[in-house]
């Protein structure tokens, strides 16, 4: 019950005689100022009334030693007192208790502490219609006056107090004054009788003028108004303590604390609450006494008509017989962890607020490790305590013979418990007991649970609460669910049941008795079991009264369907009764019922939690918990999957080309599923969901080395040794197929190319080069089509490869030789775009094919669904507005006069444009197909820097096509782009027209081993060498290996075999 406090201040007023000093000698001599002593003194006595509890209570534990004021007991253990001028009166809350003499009235005081000024009365109301009188308390903080000579004396504050009843006009009740001197606070109270029915208005008026000088203090304050009901109340059934204290001892109202033995409750008549013993057989009757056994406190709260549920339910609806067993378990003495013993559970609490009844009962039940539920018209409490099974379930008496098991996640299992309890050695302040399960902490780390031990004032009990929580979550985390018939309807939450599940046990050690033949000493079962030598067996069977009886089996080793019992049963079991056998190496499982629900006609669904009886010795005595074996199933892992095979291919999914890795293996005997995991190179393993089939697919694995691991999973979840395989995934880096049907023809300087399309899904374009070796050949054209026209006088071996969307080239270049137009002009062409842009990028990026301005965002920042972005199809982030590219330094070999030119290819792309805006026929657009934006959207500046020795440079100069004298050069391209535009810098070909040198070798005989031609003097650089076969056959090809010093020419026939021949050779260069 909530405690209540009432505080009353009563004043005595003391006025000292005024002491006046004698006058000095006449003649105008100076005198020392005199200050009169304080003549006004107030003394208050505080009257405190604390309601402790619903009565009747046992009372204070040790008299005045159990009352604490500001944390200090009134009386010391040796009998001396810590306080004076103190009066204490207590009641225990009986029905006929007397009133407390110090409290012959009921007062309710309201503090104000408001200043009262002259001409500004203060008005306050009293609305308590039951009040017989009121008390007005006035005060001044200091009161004095100084004369012109500096002498300090007293002064006067006059005032009046008026009362108005229900608006009937003010009547003067007090007309008084403070007269004298005080330098400290002085207050005075006036008790005014009331007439009428209220409400009453109180007006306080200061009639003395306010001080306007620092030499006078005469402030007046309204401190408080109290309503008073003149009545002697005994407060029946409320335990209370009244105190009177001297304000000179306590400058403020002290904090009070009382150590009491609480309510006297109903306890069994055969129970001694001091010795915690029970004598004889209980007849079900009660007597009233004090106890802190939580079971009987629980019963009292359920049956009390004043503060409990007694007004709503009859005492017969509370299952007192179950509580009797719980109470006995609570009173057992157990080790407290500090060398002594204590009761297993006690309850010391103070209920101070109203709450839902079910929540309060469950809080009380938690103090004895129990819970509350309503069943069959009764309130019942159950407790987690040792108990024998009350029912036996097997596949024979469970619907469809199905048991469904489930566990909890690792995160739900705590490893550390912080238990909050109240420490009586520290004024019952809250303390936290740290409890940890060292094994679980080492395995899973610290997973903390915060627990409040309700009503716990023992550190040992708090420690046991923490252990119980941790060990329950560690060992009893599995639940079982099943459905049974009407014979299971009697089960209640908290009851322990035994289960023999043949599927989990691996043996059928249960069933129903045969229709006839069983006796109290032998059981005829419905299927034979094997009795093995060296093992012990225990038979359990349901008797006619529904109880479960057990007896040792004494059969000789061998197979038997008749179980001989070591001791006769209490009754002969009925035919078809449920039986089960446990062996020394195969125990029946025990569970504690959590819920029983009727799910259909004569059908009940039961949920139960794993139960180990040895848990309690582990919690209380630190005895090791032995986990009995409940399965004989061979837990040997299945065999490793064989013939693990990996393959990759490309597939088109929703219009997107994706990489697929296929994984397959052979089926494994006794495998219920397969577990597949994979990793890239030596990274972390990626676990896929278990599969039932013998194959699976992985979409878009990373390129490179990928390792796959497959395990067979047995029926008990045990994995096999992993089968592993490795594959080098090319993915979209796999080269496209080689080009076929490549034909090259010439008409003057016009060269015509044509070829067959490559069927690969991700082919993006084709690239044509001129030269005998692809890596060093000159890139002359790139196109997505299968035909092309090129203007050039050069001839030689033309090469072509397909390029996919990832930038991968065909493995082998397809070649075609075409003679050169002999009117040769050597022009060096250097395009950084061909070589992957090896120069220096500033605020630009290489996207695999071209250069673009860098974006503020990257793909990694686009984490939403595509439909969430409303920006341009190019990007959801705007690019930077400027950037530049600088080529590497190029060497012409020697200082010479050369003509320089550039032909860059640049696309301008407005980011606000999407394909949906291009809704006209293509013929309607007059711009080049690479053009996407208006002129002026981008400005491009090209500059050149030259040097004769690669040391001294001319510095960057705007590029103008023309003649320059140098050996080394580099180029810079700078771009400035308008907002909402982007560029693609596709190529940057730089042409250098050098002084030509042309060497001709007509009718040159080429032997079978090839012909080497040496140049004297050597070339600085060579252009494409032209070799025209004379009298060659169809399919003949020519290779040319060239340096600035010589060339080597070889001829091959259509089978790629070397052959001899004759050719005209033209070597251009400079």
Using alpha carbons, select from 240, 320, 335 the residue that is nearest to residue 282: 320
Say if 639 falls within a structural domain: no
Using alpha carbons, select from 1026, 963, 1025, 958 the residue that is nearest to residue 991: 963
Residues 97 and 163 in one domain: no
Give the Å distances, CA to CA, from 637 to 324, 586, 633, 670: 51, 20, 11, 9
Rounded CA separation 605/491 (Å): 11
CA neighbours within 13 Å on the CB side: how many for 769? 20
Rounded CA separation 1065/1054 (Å): 21
Rounded CA separation 317/379 (Å): 6
Residues 483 and 629 in one domain: yes
Instruction: Assign residue 211 the CATH number of its domain.
Output: 2.60.120
Residues 513 and 606 in one domain: yes
**Region class of 112: left (phi > 0), else alpha (psi between -120 and 50), else beta:** alpha
Rounded CA separation 292/575 (Å): 49
Q: Cβ(1036)–Cβ(1054) under 8 Å? A: yes
Tokens of 187: 């207050």
Tens digits of residue pLDDT in 259-304: 999 999 999 999 999 999 999 999 999 999 999 999 999 999 999 9
Q: Cβ(569)–Cβ(520) under 8 Å? A: yes
Tens digits of residue pLDDT in 792-818: 777 788 899 999 888 889 989 998 888
Identify the three-state secondary structure at position 971. Answer: strand
Residue 770: per-residue pLDDT:
85
pLDDT score of 7 more than 60: no
Give the Å distances, CA to CA, from 283 to 279, 314, 324, 328: 11, 19, 11, 15
Q: Cβ(611)–Cβ(480) under 8 Å? A: no
Residues 250 and 269 in one domain: no
Say if 834 falls within a structural domain: no
Say if 23 falls within a structural domain: no
- CB burial of residue 57 (10 Å; 0-12, 13-18, 19+): buried
Q: Cβ(100)–Cβ(240) under 8 Å? A: yes
- 187 — pLDDT class (breaks 50, 70, 90): confident
- CB burial of residue 657 (10 Å; 0-12, 13-18, 19+): middle
Tens digits of residue pLDDT in 744-759: 887 777 788 999 999 8
Say if 39 falls within a structural domain: yes
Greatest mean pLDDT range, 339-343, 379-383, 485-489: 339-343
- CB burial of residue 919 (10 Å; 0-12, 13-18, 19+): exposed
Say if 738 falls within a structural domain: no
Tokens of 472: 């329950």
Q: Which of 728, 754, 780 is the last residue of a domain?
A: 728
pLDDT score of 484 more than 90: yes
Tens digits of residue pLDDT in 193-231: 888 888 999 999 999 999 998 889 999 999 999 988 877
* H or E element at residue 497: strand 496-500
Task: Look at the block and give the residue holding tokens 């038979």.
Answer: 539
Greatest mean pLDDT range, 42-56, 96-110, 162-176, 242-256: 162-176
Residues 508 and 657 in one domain: no
- Strand ranges (DSSP E) for 395-466? 404-406, 416-423, 429-436, 448-452
Residues 625 and 486 in one domain: yes
Residues 629 and 534 in one domain: yes
Tokens of 471: 């060990």
Residues 111 and 216 in one domain: yes
Q: Which residues pair with 467 in a beta bridge?
A: none
Residue 219: per-residue pLDDT:
93
Predicted structure pTM score: 0.56
Tens digits of residue pLDDT in 516-557: 889 999 999 999 999 999 999 999 999 999 999 999 999 999
Tens digits of residue pLDDT in 397-453: 999 999 999 988 877 889 999 999 999 999 899 999 999 999 999 988 999 999 999
Tokens of 943: 């500059």
Q: Which domain holds residue 1025?
A: 997-1069
Backbone φ, ψ for residue 657 (5° rounding): -80, 125
Q: Cβ(276)–Cβ(331) under 8 Å? A: yes
Tokens of 408: 């909890």
Q: Which residues pair with 177 in a beta bridge?
A: 158
Tens digits of residue pLDDT in 58-93: 999 999 999 999 989 999 999 999 988 888 988 898
Query: What's 1020's DSSP letter?
Result: S
Tens digits of residue pLDDT in 619-644: 999 888 888 888 887 778 899 999 99
Tokens of 1036: 């003949």
Rounded CA separation 388/613 (Å): 9
Residues 461 and 501 in one domain: no
Query: What's 849's DSSP letter?
Result: S
Instruction: Assign residue 667 the CATH number of its domain.
Output: 2.60.40.10
Q: Which residues pair with 256 in a beta bridge?
A: 69
Residue 934: per-residue pLDDT:
55
Q: Which of 579, 599, 633 is the last residue of a domain?
A: 633
Q: Residues for the chain: how many in total?
A: 1070
Residues 614 and 676 in one domain: no
Backbone φ, ψ for residue 825 (5° rounding): -130, 120
Using alpha carbons, select from 472, 433, 473 the residue that is nearest to residue 453: 433
Strands 496-500 and 391-394, bridge-based pairing: parallel
Q: Which of 960, 975, 993 is the last residue of a domain?
A: 993
Say if 865 falls within a structural domain: no
Q: What share of the chain is helix, strand, coil (3-state, %, to 5)?
A: 10, 45, 45
Domain count, the chain: 9
Say if 733 falls within a structural domain: no
Residues 1003 and 946 in one domain: no
Neighbouring residues of 655: CB distance < 8 A, sequence distance ≥ 6: none
Give the pLDDT mean for 721-749. Answer: 86
End-to-end CA distance of the chain: 111
Say if 588 falls within a structural domain: yes
Tens digits of residue pLDDT in 658-698: 889 999 999 998 888 999 999 998 789 999 999 999 999 99
Query: What's 619's DSSP letter?
Result: H
Rounded CA separation 344/293 (Å): 10
Residues 580 and 679 in one domain: no
């Amino acid at each position: 019950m909530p405690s209540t406090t009432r505080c009353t201040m009563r004043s005595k007023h003391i006025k000292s005689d005024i002491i006046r000093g004698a006058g000095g000698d006449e003649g105008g001599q100076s005198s020392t100022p005199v200050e009169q002593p304080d003549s006004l003194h107030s003394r208050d006595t505080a009257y405190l009334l604390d309601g402790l509890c619903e009565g009747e209570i046992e009372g204070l534990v040790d008299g005045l030693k159990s009352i604490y004021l500001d944390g200090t007991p009134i009386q010391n253990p040796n009998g001396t007192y810590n306080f004076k001028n103190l009066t204490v009166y207590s009641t225990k809350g009986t029905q006929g208790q007397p009133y407390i003499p110090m409290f012959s009235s009921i007062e309710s005081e309201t503090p104000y502490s408001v200043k009262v000024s002259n001409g500004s009365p203060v008005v306050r109301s009293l609305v308590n219609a039951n009040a017989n009188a009121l008390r007005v308390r006035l005060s001044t903080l200091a009161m004095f006056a100084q004369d012109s000579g500096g002498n300090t004396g007293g002064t006067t504050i006059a005032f009046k107090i008026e009362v108005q009843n229900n608006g009937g006009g003010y009547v003067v009740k007090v007309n008084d004054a403070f007269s004298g001197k005080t330098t400290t606070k002085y207050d005075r109270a006036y008790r005014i009788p009331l007439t009428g029915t209220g409400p009453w208005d109180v007006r306080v008026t200061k009639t003395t003028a306010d001080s306007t000088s620092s030499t006078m203090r005469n402030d007046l304050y309204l401190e408080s108004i109290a309503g008073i009901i003149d009545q002697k109340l005994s407060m029946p059934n409320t335990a209370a303590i009244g105190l009177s204290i001297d304000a000179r001892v306590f400058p403020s109202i002290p904090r009070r604390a009382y150590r009491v033995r609480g309510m006297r409750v109903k306890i069994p008549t055969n129970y001694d609450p001091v010795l915690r013993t029970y004598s004889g057989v209980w007849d079900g009757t009660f007597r009233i006494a004090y106890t802190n056994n939580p079971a009987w406190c629980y019963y009292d709260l359920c049956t009390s008509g004043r503060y409990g549920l007694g007004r709503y339910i009859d005492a017969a609806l509370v299952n007192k017989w179950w509580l009797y067993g719980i109470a006995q378990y609570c009173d057992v003495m157990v080790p407290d962890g500090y060398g002594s013993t204590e009761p297993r559970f006690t309850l010391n609490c103070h209920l101070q607020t109203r709450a839902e009844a079910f929540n309060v009962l469950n809080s009380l039940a938690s103090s004895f490790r129990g819970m509350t539920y309503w069943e069959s018209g009764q309130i019942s409490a159950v407790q987690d305590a040792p108990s024998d099974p009350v029912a036996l379930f097997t596949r024979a008496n469970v619907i469809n013979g199905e048991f469904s098991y489930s566990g909890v996640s690792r995160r739900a299992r705590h490893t550390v418990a912080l238990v909050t309890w109240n420490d009586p050695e520290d004024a019952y302040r809250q303390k936290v007991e740290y409890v940890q399960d060292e094994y679980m902490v080492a395995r899973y780390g610290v997973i903390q649970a915060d627990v409040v031990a309700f009503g716990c004032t023992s550190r040992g009990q708090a420690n046991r609460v923490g252990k119980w929580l941790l060990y329950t979550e560690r060992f009893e985390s599995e639940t079982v669910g099943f459905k049974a018939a009407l014979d299971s309807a009697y089960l209640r939450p908290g009851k322990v049941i035994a289960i023999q599940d043949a599927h989990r046990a691996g043996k059928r050690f249960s069933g129903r008795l045969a229709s006839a033949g069983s006796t109290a000493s032998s059981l005829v079962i419905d299927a034979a079991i094997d009795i093995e030598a060296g093992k012990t067996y225990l038979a359990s069977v349901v008797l006619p009264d529904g109880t479960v009886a057990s007896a040792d089996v004494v059969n000789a080793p061998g197979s038997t369907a008749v179980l001989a019992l070591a001791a006769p049963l209490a009754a002969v079991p009925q035919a078809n009764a449920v039986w089960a056998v446990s062996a020394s190496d195969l125990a029946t499982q025990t569970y504690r019922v959590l819920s029983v629900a009727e799910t259909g006609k004569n059908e009940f669904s039961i949920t139960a939690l794993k139960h180990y009886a040895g848990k309690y010795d582990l919690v209380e005595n630190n005895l090791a918990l032995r986990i009995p074996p409940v399965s004989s199933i061979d837990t040997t892992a299945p065999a490793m999957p064989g013939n693990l095979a990996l393959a990759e291919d490309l597939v088109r999914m929703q219009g997107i080309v994706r990489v697929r890795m296929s994984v397959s293996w052979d089926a494994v005997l006794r495998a219920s599923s397969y577990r597949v995991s994979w990793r890239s190179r030596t990274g972390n393993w990626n676990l896929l969901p278990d599969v039932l089939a013998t194959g699976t697919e992985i979409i878009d694995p990373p390129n490179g080395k990928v390792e796959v691991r497959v395990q067979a999973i047995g029926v008990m979840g045990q994995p096999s040794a992993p089968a592993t395989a490795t594959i080098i995934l090319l993915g979209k880096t796999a080269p496209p197929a080689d080009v076929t049907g490549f034909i090259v023809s010439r008409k003057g300087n016009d060269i015509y190319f044509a070829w067959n399309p490559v069927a690969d899904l991700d082919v993006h374009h084709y690239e044509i080069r001129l030269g005998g070796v692809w890596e060093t050949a000159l890139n002359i054209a790139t196109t997505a089509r299968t035909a092309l026209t090129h203007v050039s006088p050069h001839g030689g071996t033309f090469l072509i490869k397909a390029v996919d969307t990832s930038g991968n080239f065909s493995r082998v270049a397809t070649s075609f030789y075409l003679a050169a137009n002999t009117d040769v002009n050597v022009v060096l062409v250097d395009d950084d775009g061909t070589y992957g842009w090896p120069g220096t990028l500033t605020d630009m990026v290489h996207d695999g094919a071209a250069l673009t301005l860098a974006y503020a965002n990257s793909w990694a920042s686009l984490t939403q669904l595509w439909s969430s972005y409303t920006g341009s199809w190019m990007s959801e982030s705007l690019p930077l507005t400027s950037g530049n590219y600088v080529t590497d330094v190029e060497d012409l070999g020697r200082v010479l006069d050369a003509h320089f030119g550039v032909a860059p290819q640049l696309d301008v792309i407005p980011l606000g444009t999407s394909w949906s805006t291009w809704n006209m026929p293509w013929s309607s657009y007059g711009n080049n197909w690479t053009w996407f934006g208006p002129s002026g959207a981008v400005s491009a500046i090209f500059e050149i820097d030259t040097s004769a020795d690669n040391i001294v440079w001319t510095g960057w100069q705007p590029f103008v096509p023309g003649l320059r004298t140098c050996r080394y050069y580099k180029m810079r391209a700078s771009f400035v782009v308008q907002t909402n535009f982007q560029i693609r810098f596709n190529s940057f070909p730089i042409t250098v027209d050098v002084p030509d040198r042309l060497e001709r070798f007509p009718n040159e005989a080429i032997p079978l081993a090839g012909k080497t031609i040496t140049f004297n003097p050597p070339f600085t650089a060579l252009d494409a060498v032209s070799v025209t076969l004379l009298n060659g056959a169809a399919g003949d090809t020519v290779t040319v290996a060239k340096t600035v010093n010589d060339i080597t020419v070889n001829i091959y026939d259509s089978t790629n075999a070397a052959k001899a021949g004759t050719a005209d050779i033209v070597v251009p260069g400079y």
